Each structure stands twice: as C-alpha cells, then as structure tokens.
Structure 1
Amino acid sequence: MSDDQTLPLPGAPTPPTRTPARRAPARRPTRARTAAAELPVAQVAVDVGLAHLDRPFDYLVPADLAEAAVPGCRVRVRFGGQLADGFVLARVADTDFTGRLGFLERVVSAVPVLAPEVVELARAVADRYGGTLADVLRLAVPPRHARAERAKPEPPPIGPVAPPDGHGWRGYPAGPAYLRALADGRAPRAVLTALPGDDWAARLADALTAVAAGGRGGLAVVPDARDLDRLDAALTARLGTGRHVAIAASLGPEQRYRRFLRAVRGEVPVVIGTRAAMFAPVPALGLVAIFDDGDDLHADDHAPYPHAREVLLTRAQQTGAAALLAGYARSAEAQLLLATGWAKPIDADRAALRAAAPRVIATGDEFQLSRDPSAAAARLPGVAVRAAREALAAGTPVLVQVPRRGYLPVVVCQRCRARTRCPRCAGPLAVPAAGGFPVCRWCGHTAGGYRCPECGGRELRAAVIGARRTAEELGRAFPGAVVRTSGRDGVLATVHAEPAVVVSTPGAEPVAVGGYGAVLLLDSWALLTRADLRAAEETLRRWLAAAVLARPADAGGRVVVVADASVPVVQALVRFDAAGFAERELADRRALGFPPAVRMASLTGTAPAIAELLAAATLPDGTDELGPVPVPTPRAAPDAPERERLLLRVPRPQAPALAAALRAATAVRSARKGADPVRVQIDPLDLL
C-alpha cells in the first residue's frame, strides 16, 4: 500500500461510491416510411379482448413489408399507444377511415396461419356464443414456434388413398351407403349409434379414409388423449404414415405448432385431435366427425366457451361438408338433429344388436346384501358376486365401475350422520387412505381428533366409497384375484385376457383383449341423484361406455347394474336402447322448456353488474328470466364479492337475436369500463 493511501477508521462511515451517470440512449431517427404500391391497406384483427373493439382495423403496409404482409400472417401493430399482436385478414386498395392511418410495425411471420374459411368460422362462432373474434382466434391458432416454422416440410406420401372395404359397417343397414356417399363426394349427415363391442375408432377411420379416397379432407374430434391414440392407430392402419396429423393441447408447443403447420400447408388430407383441433384448417373439407359428443370434455372452458360439436356443425353448414356424430350413447342434441331432419340415423338392426350385446341384469342391493355376507363385505349383491366369480373362473377379467375416485371421499358422523366439515375452513373432509386421519379437501388440514359439532361424536363412517377403497374390498371378496385400478392416479389403456379385477372410474375403463367376462356398475345412486339437468343422460353414457366392453351374451358376457330396474335409464341400459332414451329425454325437455329444445344464456356476476348489463341489452320479445340465484364463493377467493346467476331462455329461432343483444350490451359495458365483469355463456352444460 502506498503512503498516500489511507484506511478509514473503524466505525467511520464509508464515503458513498460515485457511479458514472448513464448517457441517455440516442433516439433513433424516425425513418420515412412509404406505403406499398399495390393494395397498401391491411385489415387487421388486433388481439384485444374488449367487446367494443371487436372489429378489424386498417393499417398501412410499408413498402418493405409488401411481400411479407400476406393475408393470414401474424403482425405487430400500434394500438392504443402500445404494441399488440394481430392477424392480417385482407389487403385492400383503400379505406373508409377518414383519419391518419398508422403503419404495420413488423411482420412476425410471413406464414399465412389463418385461412379465410377459419376467419369466417371464427366470426360465426363468436356471434353464436356472444363473444369476440379475438377470443375465438386464440383458440383457433396455436402460439407461434419459430423452430417449427424453420423445419423442412415432410415429403408428401406417394400414391392415392385406397377406399375402405366397409366390412365393419355391414352391421348397420345404412352404413355402406353412407361410405359410398362420402367417397362419391356427396355430403351425407348422420348420427351413428355404435354396436356393443364394435371398434368406434375403426368406424371413424373408415369414414375419414372414404372421404380422403374421394379427394377431399376430413376432420375428427375425440374427447381425450386416450381416444385420440386409438383413432390415430386406426387411421395409420388404413392411410399409412404421413397422411394425417393428430393435434392435442397436451402436445408440446413445438410439436403442436409443427402439426398445425402441416395442416395449414395442406400436406395432409386428414386432421384428428381433441377439441384443440376443432378449428384446424383442412383443405377441401369434406367431412367433420365427432365421437361421444355428450362428453363434457368437448366444451371449452375459455371464452366464449364453444362446444366442439357446435363448431363442427357450423363448419359443415358453411362448407357443405358431410357430418358424422358417433358414439355408443346418444345426446339430446344429436337426437334433435335427427328430429329436425338435419341428419339421418345409422343404427344396427335388432338381430345384430342382440348378437353383439352382453346380458344386462339390474338388481337392487338391500335384499341381496342381507342374504350374502361376502357380498356385503364388497358392497355387491349376490348376483354380481356370482357373475364376477364365474368370469374369473373362465379366465376372463372383470370390470368394476365406481363413480368416485379416492378412498373415502365423503365421511359422516357415525352417531348423527352429519357430514363432516373442516374446523378451519368448513370444507368437506375425506379419508385418503386406510387407517388415515380425515383431511380437508379444500385446505388440506388434517383433522385429527375430530369431534362432531352437532352431537359431539368422535366416530366416523363412510358416506361414499371411492375407487381405492372398492379395490381393497374386492381384494377381500375375491381372494387370490389380481386387483388393478384405473383412474386419476394412472389410466390403463388395455388389460390382457386373464383373470383380474379392474376397478375404474368413469372414462378410465381400459379395453380388455377379447372383452370382459363381467362388468359391474356400482353406486348408481351417486350418478342418478345428482342435481343436474343431464344426470340421466350422463349416467347412461357412462354405463354404456363400460357395458360395451363386455363380451357378447353368447360368449358369457354379463353386465350387472346395482340399481332399481324400474328406472327408465336402467331400462334403456337393459335393452341397449340409446336411441329410444334420447328420444324420450328430448320430449321431456321440450315439455319443460329446457335445452336443447330451447336456447339459454347464463349471466354470472355481481347483482349491480348483471342489472347494468340487462339495462343495456335489448332482449328479444318473450325472453324468460329464471333467477337470479346466489353462486357459491370460490374457495380461492373467499373475500370476493357475492355473485349471482341469471338464466335467460328463448325459443330456438330467437337464439341469434339473444346472442347479438348480449354481445352489444357487453360492448356497451366494455366502453363504459364497467368495474365488475359478467360472465356470459350461451347454452352452458351446467345450469346450476
């Protein structure tokens, strides 16, 4: 250390360190931009979710971006003083805007990812559901992935598509004619009720192959990834590789965008997927198909909450394409299409149905359980126990469908039967495992030493049995048998043709090689007693999804449903009469004035916000107001203001007027910057 350097004394304040002042960045000189010589105006759909700004905006196309700014490409524009994303909808020569137009800031990608027919579809969907075009376009076009755009296109497959042999359709009198119409370039519209044991994926693959053989494109939507894998395998077996893509939201961003680009570029004639594919561009669209349209997974939970069935039917109407609604059950909406003549049924004759269906036995539980102690241990009537034992003895697996997952999802007081509640947040208590303490399903608090606030009792009993507890009980009822579970913790795709008991929640039933020897449907009350307009329809759909996996009656297949045989939905299962039940369900809803016989809109928000929306809306004549009723406060926001729900009901012909009125009123509130939002849903699945 040199002599002229000194150290600060201990405890003395350290002098502040001076930092050199930053030089302000030099402002870029404003470059003079000139508009393109040809078609200098771009009509842009700006990604702004405000309802009062739901319209295209005009921008000038700079000369240096004239070639890149093609219709359908992504751009960045100045909107409200900020940069915003958008899509070029069209290039025109002039504008009717009297002010000064701004320029496009830049072209994000010159790839035209938004086809004109998709724009038309998105506009129709937005109008039908009372939403905005920007909201629909977020669902229609996946986020950009630059590496996927730079990837080399895959080589196209060589050779024409061979038409399907149609062998699997011969069990349906109208089936072969439907395939011929697709191959000939016509647009037949049908509702297919599949036979028990028939491979629905093979039937959809046949229809898509037939339309591809005729030189047109096909689009099919299924509920979940497991169904998508089945349809993907069936299509690969018929079309080979490289002729179709499967699109799902569960794919990674790059893979999903890469497959989307293949569809945009017209490299494949067939697109399949979950509801994420319902807007996928398909060149020369000739067929739209959906499997199990009653599944609630087809309803999107993002605004404007479209349903895949309605989107596909709108596409068929706009493009003149064929349509196919396939499933083992039939929804009331599909039945309405048949009742109005928009579609025709494709059903099997009774002889083919009797040959393919298993024997269905409906049995109550109280009398049987009182006579069979071993059955009581497993909550199974004696006839169900015998069917399971005979199937296991014959070397075939047994499927047991349980409506609830978990171990003991609902517990009550042993003494007074009061439902247990968390002492912290009043949430429901559940027992997660054998010998475990009750745990709150809302906040996760472990309620050790629980004491009933009603009677002071400390003992608990099960009110609802979950899949894991059922598997434990069945292991005791069938000693020596292998017990497997399929549900939230792990979904099985298939099981081998060997003795085993498979306990599954609805929708997770694995396919058994050769079929199940017995299918047991337990706790039917948990499905039938739900406070839901679609409770009976949903119950039959879930039961049929399991029952069709059983072997035919001639091969020993049995289905035992623990329910009163006099209930109409049970009778429909016994007869495998999905069509008759749907017809009866539609008639009942017409008599009561419920969807789909009428159209409904649900308004959810605070009372002042709903009142403000209604004051700004010019509702069609004859609109019925049902409610309002209070809505439970969400657990994630216990301090949120109290909300309510109001239902608006109109006849079907006035549905467009209702949607337009609500859309206009939402725009008024948006322009006024209404403080509290109102959630508007047209034809929601849940009316409660």
Structure 2
Amino acid sequence: MPQRIVRVLIDSPLPQLDRLFDYTVPDALESSVQPGVRLRVPLRTVGRIVDAIAIEVVAEASVDRPLSEIDSVVSTACVVPPFLYTLARKVADRAGGAANDILRLAVPKRQVRVEKQWLTATEPVAAVVAGDAVSYADTLVDDFPGLAAAVIARERVALTAIAHPVTTNDGGTVGAWAMLVAALATQRLASGESTIVVVPDYRDQDAVMTALSDFVADDAVARVDARQSGPDRYRSFLRTLAAAPVIVVGNRSAIYSPVDASLIVMWDDGDSLLEEPLAPYVHSRDAALVRQELSGCALVFAGHTRTSDVERLIALGYVTEITAARRYAPSTVLTASTDSEAPGTRIPSSAYRAVREALATGPVLVQVSRPGYAPVLVCAKCRTPSKCAHCSGPLHAKARGAAPQCRWCGRTAHSWKCPDCQSVNVRLASSGSERTADDLGRAFPGARVVVSDGEHTVMEVGEKPALVVATRGAEPIAAGGYHAVLLLDGDRMLMSDDLRVAESCLRWWSNAAALAAPGAPVHLVGVTGDIARTFATWTHAAFAQSELAERAPLRMPPTSRVAMLEGDHESLSTALAKLRDDVPQLARDAVLGPLPLDGNGDELARTLVRYDYALGHAVVTSLRASVIAAAVAGRRSTRTRPNRPPRATLKLRTDVADPQL
C-alpha cells in the first residue's frame, strides 16, 4: 500500500534547514494533512517539536529510508497556497535568503478565534461595481493613452503621475495619482479580477483608500499594514485566500498577498520604506518583478519621479513607458539661497512675497530637511561640530537658549568645551522644523503655524490660511491643495553621502510640489545645476537616464548587482575562493575588500561583490552555499568544543542599493 509522505518547510532561522523535509502521515491525520496547512513535526537535530508548513503531499510505493511521523496538525486552514510558496522560494533564491523568511512577511501570526470564524463562514461573493463608477474609472485611465490596453495585455508599464491634488466625491482631497490607481483597480474588479496596490507608508495607503471610496464598497478592499491589530490583519489575510476578487492595499508585505492578481500597482518605488529591513532584505520592486514573471499579471510602476532602476528596465525594453495625454508640470521657481541661519533671513525676498500673498487666501507648505529646533551645533569660534564628552555623539538644542543635549546618550552638556580651541560657546549650524516654525511665526505675525514631523503627526489641514512646516515625507494634505510651496534646505539634503541622494531629493521635492493646487507657485531655494533644471522643467525621465549613464562606467547599482558579505576573515576567504571557482566569468575587479568592520577590530570584515545580472543566479547560489557551509561549521565547532564560543557565521545581502565598505 502506498505510504503518504508530506514534505514540509520547517520554521527555523538556520540557513541549513532551508529545504523540504519528508515525514510520514499517520492514518489518523491523513484527511487533515493538505498542502499549505500548519503542522508540528519532530526535529531530531534539536530533539524537540517545531512548527512547519506542509508544502507537498505525495504517495510513495515503498519508503527505503527511516522517516519520522508528523506530530500534529495545528490547523486545517490552507494559509500557504502552492503559488505563495513558489513565489517565496523564487524570491528567496534570487536574494540568497530563506523561503521561510519570506513567508513570515506574507503570513501573519495565527489568530485562533478569527480562523475558526473564517472556517465556518460562507465564501465571500464577488463585489458588484456600479456602472457609473466604471465609466468614471475609464475616463481617468484614458488620460494615459495605451494604459488600459497594456493592463489588459498583462504588460509591464512605467508612468509618471499627474502632480496635483483632486477632490473626491465626499469632499476629501487626495493626489491625482491615488485616483488613477483606484481607477485601474476598479476596472480590474469590474472584470472579476483582483489587484494588489503597494505603497510606501500609511499616508499613501490612506490616500488610496479614500480614492477607492469613490468607486467601490468597503468590503471589496482588503487592507494590509502594520497599524492593524493582530486579529484584523489575520482577518484581512484570510480574505485574500478566497476566490472572490478583491483589491489589496498595503505596504511592502502586500506584494506577497496570496490573491490571484491580474494587476500589481507599485507607487513611488524609490521610497526606502519599500526595502525590507529584515533578511533577506528584498525590495518590493524586485519581488513584484519576480511575481509578474511567475503569474504573467500586469505590473505598473507609478510615481512623480522615475528611479534609475525602472529606467534601466525601460532601456532594456522590459518595461514600457506610458505618459499622460497632456503634460502637466507645477509652477516652479528656482530661488537663490541667502546662506544665512540668522532668524528671518533664511527665506529669500521673492519667496517671502509669494508666501505672504498665498497666506492671504489659504495654507502654505514649507518643507525642511530635519526635525527639532537646532539639529546641528558647532563651536562658535572655530566651527568644529560639537560632540558629547561622554560618548562623542552629536549635540543639538531642543529650544532657543536651551543647553546642548546629546542625541545618543541624552546627557545635557552644561560645561561643554571645544577640544580644538577651548571655546565654551556653541552656534546653531542648522534649523530644524521647530526653529523654522519659530522664525516664520515671527516673520508672519498672526499667522497660524502647524508643525508636522516625526514627533508631531499631522495628516491633513483645512483650507484656511496656515503656515505648515513639515519634514520630507511628513507633509499633510491640504484641502484643495496648498496655495504655495516653499522647499528649504535643498542644498543640505544634497550633501548626504548616499549614492542615490540626487534621486531621493528630486523625489522628496516632487512629492511636496504635487501637494500644491494647480497654478500655485513652488519655490526651490538654494539648489542649482542639473537637478534644479530637472525639477523646474519636470523632465524626470531624462534625469534618470543621466544617472544611469553616470553609474555605468563605475559598475554601480543598478547597472550592476552588488552583494555584501560579512563574516570572519577565514570564512570570507573560503567563500570568495569558492566563488571564483564556481563563477569564472566574474571580472577581475569584481571583489572589493575585505575590510575590517568598524568597532570589531580585525575579527570581522566586509566585502562587496559586483556582478552582471546574467551571472546573478550563479553568484548568489555560490555565496548562499558558503553561508550554509559556514553555519554548519560553526554549529559543529560548538558541539565538539562546548566551552568555545561559536564561530561568526557569514551574512549575505544581495542587491545593495548603496554599496559602501
């Protein structure tokens, strides 16, 4: 009689366990064991029972190897459909990580009560989309010629959204991009198909949800984000397992939603929030490309700007560029900086007049680079950055006349003295959101001042006059749009040593400019050069092309892939030697390093590996094998010599966006 065998993926962080294990199924559990259900299985290497997911169930005529039986079935709910595991496996293999790490992002923690209700509830029915909603959606999508046909043909598309706010039917204000995304999702839902909408943060998610309220009912939308409680998030996940079409709206983990999606829309793929901070550090853009290749769905990258990553795909012919029928650009004014931090002198005269005129009729947005009062303090005599005497952390001031405080340890530096010139006086070297609000309150007496940053969350402001001072990414939406936008600290933003700082700055400024009402002035202060001309002429595609061309000779991302490997010198040397043997096509200068890691002496080091996309599979496979070998060797050394600390295992990260040794 054939023996039923279940192949499971064990829930373990150990890289050597990232494979399928075979177990026999006892007769009592035969009807409950199905692919995708949660199990408990014995793991002999650790002598305990562990969690696992059933991936395959097969029947073998004879079993010629000793197999353990599964211990129990945790739940009969199929939470990992075959496509979801295939996607997790593909994404993990591309990133040199474990499939289990991807599934942790995709499948929320089990909620027993919610799951029992779901198992006994009736199957959801397909939502009905009103005819006028479909007509309205068609009108919005038709503003981008060829977009509707490309989505139906399941193509990959990149488009630049129209940068101005619009008013919804219930009087709310959202970006025009949100209405376009909602229209695309509505068209697919009306055709009986699901859509996944991936956005960077909760502000963008709220905008899409508000826009969708003009088209579909609430039960046709499944929200996926970290703000939800455990039961609510699990309930939304279970809804995506149903066959009835649904619109999934969420942050980076929404890309792994188990719905049978015919369309994936990713907004603002250049935002760092779409890069997963946990291993294997997969960017949602890469996961979306893998999913599109597996399922053949349509994929739309939308934004006010264009990343060099998407531009590379356009240059290869892998992604099609679609533009709006009518070109729209904000009314941008380039203004010279005053180069002064004195109160009342940061805003040039022309921008000051524009702010004063706009305040007479509505709100004005002022974007700054950093929160707080004075984020940076320097010596008043020699201009040396002030540091904490205890931990060498940077000092800052929380208010006018306040004693300097350390950002790292929180100590107050009452008796600070410059180590270079022995001066005891500090000078405010930069202005944060609070100091800018203080200065503007003095410059425009009687005006209402609103601060929005990490400590002061403001989602929206009304249409009444107000000065809204916000850090990048924290700008609230204004009813009807801002009557003027003032972008300060642009030169300071560009001073970052990030490889993609120019792309990021252009994106921050463009997203802020998109909050301005049509025709409202947008003043960019203190920025010159190509990036300023790009912003003024709204030619973001050309800027992405130039960025790509500049990085190509240096083989910097995204023209080449870069992997980062960290570990002890012996393990690194072994891994790099194996890599050379496994992939002889690597360039001679492909490996950079290794160099010691800061704060670890000579024990740990880091190395970078640059390689072409065509060699990606071979390189990642070799490096992943070295990671597993190092993990096994470290575990074996601990077992044979208990008093010896375990060897440092290798850590691998592929597709590093800003490679730095």
Q: Does 1:177 align with 2:146?
A: yes
CA distance in structure 2 between the partners assigned to 1:65 and 1:280 by the alignment? 29
Instruction: Tell me the SS of whatever aligns to 1:40.
Output: strand
Superposed, 1:595-606 pairs within 5 Å as: 595-606=557-568
Superposed, 1:66-77 pairs within 5 Å as: 66-77=30-41
- C-alpha distance after superposition, 1:594-652 (max 9, x if no partner): 1111111012344444334324434522241123344444xxxxx78764432110112
1:83/1:484 CA distance change after superposition, 3 Å: same
Asked whether the equivalents of residues 429 and 438 of structure 1 are also in contact (C-alpha less than 8 Å), the reply is: yes
Instruction: Tell me the SS of whatever aligns to 2:218.
Output: coil
CA distance in structure 2 between the partners assigned to 1:158 and 1:312 by the alignment? 25
Match of 2:373 among 407, 429, 434: 407
CA distance in structure 2 between the partners assigned to 1:630 and 1:314 by the alignment? 34
CA distance in structure 2 between the partners assigned to 1:202 and 1:642 by the alignment? 54
CA distance in structure 2 between the partners assigned to 1:564 and 1:51 by the alignment? 48
1:177 Cα deviation after fit: 3.3
1:39 Cα deviation after fit: 5.9
Instruction: Tell me the SS of whatever aligns to 1:387.
Output: helix
1:583 matched to which residue of 2? 545
CA distance in structure 1 between the partners assigned to 2:568 and 2:348 by the alignment? 49
CA distance in structure 2 between the partners assigned to 1:69 and 1:234 by the alignment? 42
Asked whether the equivalents of residues 289 and 312 of structure 1 are also in contact (C-alpha less than 8 Å), the reply is: no
Asked whether the equivalents of residues 343 and 439 of structure 2 are also in contact (C-alpha less than 8 Å), the reply is: no
1:362 matched to which residue of 2? 334
2:586 matched to which residue of 1? 622
1:166/1:469 CA distance change after superposition, 3 Å: farther
1:162/1:324 CA distance change after superposition, 3 Å: farther
1:167 Cα deviation after fit: 5.4
Instruction: Tell me the SS of whatever aligns to 2:653.
Output: strand
1:133/1:209 CA distance change after superposition, 3 Å: same
CA distance in structure 1 between the partners assigned to 2:220 and 2:304 by the alignment? 28
1:11 matched to which residue of 2? none
Instruction: Tell me the SS of whatever aligns to 1:541.
Output: helix
Q: Does 1:251 align with 2:228?
A: yes
2:435 matched to which residue of 1? 469
CA distance in structure 2 between the partners assigned to 1:227 and 1:632 by the alignment? 37
Structure 2 letter corresponding to 1:515: G
1:61 Cα deviation after fit: 0.7
1:169 Cα deviation after fit: 7.3
CA distance in structure 1 between the partners assigned to 2:184 and 2:595 by the alignment? 46
CA distance in structure 2 between the partners assigned to 1:550 and 1:607 by the alignment? 54
1:98 Cα deviation after fit: 3.9
2:411 matched to which residue of 1? 445
CA distance in structure 2 between the partners assigned to 1:96 and 1:175 by the alignment? 60
2:21 matched to which residue of 1? 57
1:279/1:397 CA distance change after superposition, 3 Å: same
- C-alpha distance after superposition, 1:527-572 (max 9, x if no partner): 111111101000100000101111222xxx111111243x111111
CA distance in structure 2 between the partners assigned to 1:347 and 1:132 by the alignment? 38
Match of 2:472 among 490, 503, 506: 506
Structure 1 letter corresponding to 2:463: A
CA distance in structure 1 between the partners assigned to 2:62 and 2:622 by the alignment? 27
Asked whether the equivalents of residues 3 and 24 of structure 2 are also in contact (C-alpha less than 8 Å), the reply is: no
1:535 matched to which residue of 2? 501
Asked whether the equivalents of residues 59 and 103 of structure 1 are also in contact (C-alpha less than 8 Å), the reply is: yes
Structure 1 letter corresponding to 2:124: P
% identical aligned pairs: 37
Asked whether the equivalents of residues 174 and 346 of structure 1 are also in contact (C-alpha less than 8 Å), the reply is: no
Structure 1 letter corresponding to 2:278: H
1:162 Cα deviation after fit: 4.7
1:276 Cα deviation after fit: 2.0
1:154/1:584 CA distance change after superposition, 3 Å: farther
1:289 Cα deviation after fit: 1.2
Instruction: Tell me the SS of whatever aligns to 2:499.
Output: coil
Q: Does 1:679 align with 2:637?
A: no
Match of 1:558 among 496, 499, 521: 521
Superposed, 1:582-661 pairs within 5 Å as: 582-617=544-579, 618=581, 620=583, 621-623=585-587, 624-633=590-599, 643-661=604-622
Asked whether the equivalents of residues 373 and 432 of structure 2 are also in contact (C-alpha less than 8 Å), the reply is: yes
- C-alpha distance after superposition, 1:299-341 (max 9, x if no partner): 1111111111111111111001000011111111111121111
1:174 Cα deviation after fit: 7.1
Q: Does 1:273 align with 2:236?
A: no
Q: When the two structures are superposed, what TM-score results if normalisation uses the length of structure 2?
A: 0.91
CA distance in structure 1 between the partners assigned to 2:232 and 2:602 by the alignment? 42
1:588 Cα deviation after fit: 1.4
CA RMSD of aligned residues (A): 2.3
Instruction: Tell me the SS of whatever aligns to 1:265.
Output: coil
Superposed, 1:316-465 pairs within 5 Å as: 316-349=292-325, 352-353=326-327, 356-366=328-338, 377-393=344-360, 395-465=361-431
Structure 1: any 5+ residue segments left out of the alignment? 1-36, 634-638
Structure 1 letter corresponding to 2:627: T
Asked whether the equivalents of residues 45 and 134 of structure 1 are also in contact (C-alpha less than 8 Å), the reply is: yes
Structure 2 letter corresponding to 1:228: Q
Asked whether the equivalents of residues 144 and 257 of structure 1 are also in contact (C-alpha less than 8 Å), the reply is: yes
Match of 2:128 among 149, 160, 182: 160
1:293 Cα deviation after fit: 0.3
Deviates more, 1:587-596 or 1:611-620: 611-620
CA distance in structure 1 between the partners assigned to 2:256 and 2:126 by the alignment? 27
1:448/1:608 CA distance change after superposition, 3 Å: farther
Asked whether the equivalents of residues 123 and 242 of structure 2 are also in contact (C-alpha less than 8 Å), the reply is: no
Structure 2: any 5+ residue segments left out of the alignment? 165-174, 635-645
- C-alpha distance after superposition, 1:368-404 (max 9, x if no partner): x7xxx9x9625111111111011112x1111010011
- C-alpha distance after superposition, 1:186-232 (max 9, x if no partner): 31221120112052111111111112222222111100112111112
CA distance in structure 2 between the partners assigned to 1:174 and 1:645 by the alignment? 49
CA distance in structure 1 between the partners assigned to 2:401 and 2:2 by the alignment? 77
Asked whether the equivalents of residues 187 and 321 of structure 1 are also in contact (C-alpha less than 8 Å), the reply is: yes
1:82 Cα deviation after fit: 1.3
1:363 Cα deviation after fit: 1.9
1:203/1:172 CA distance change after superposition, 3 Å: closer
1:507/1:97 CA distance change after superposition, 3 Å: farther
1:93 Cα deviation after fit: 0.5
Asked whether the equivalents of residues 39 and 91 of structure 1 are also in contact (C-alpha less than 8 Å), the reply is: no
1:348 Cα deviation after fit: 2.5
Q: When the two structures are superposed, what TM-score results if normalisation uses the length of structure 1?
A: 0.87
- C-alpha distance after superposition, 1:474-515 (max 9, x if no partner): 111111111101111132222111211000011111111121
CA distance in structure 1 between the partners assigned to 2:601 and 2:125 by the alignment? 56
1:256 Cα deviation after fit: 0.7
Asked whether the equivalents of residues 413 and 420 of structure 1 are also in contact (C-alpha less than 8 Å), the reply is: yes
Instruction: Tell me the SS of whatever aligns to 2:213.
Output: helix
Deviates more, 1:639-648 or 1:676-685: 639-648
Asked whether the equivalents of residues 483 and 516 of structure 2 are also in contact (C-alpha less than 8 Å), the reply is: yes
Deviates more, 1:303-312 or 1:212-221: 212-221
- C-alpha distance after superposition, 1:11-44 (max 9, x if no partner): xxxxxxxxxxxxxxxxxxxxxxxxxx77611000
CA distance in structure 2 between the partners assigned to 1:86 and 1:253 by the alignment? 21
Instruction: Tell me the SS of whatever aligns to 1:391.
Output: helix
1:159/1:392 CA distance change after superposition, 3 Å: closer
Q: Does 1:47 align with 2:16?
A: no
Superposed, 1:95-134 pairs within 5 Å as: 98-134=64-100
Q: Does 1:515 align with 2:477?
A: no
How many residues are paired up? 630
Structure 1 letter corresponding to 2:384: A
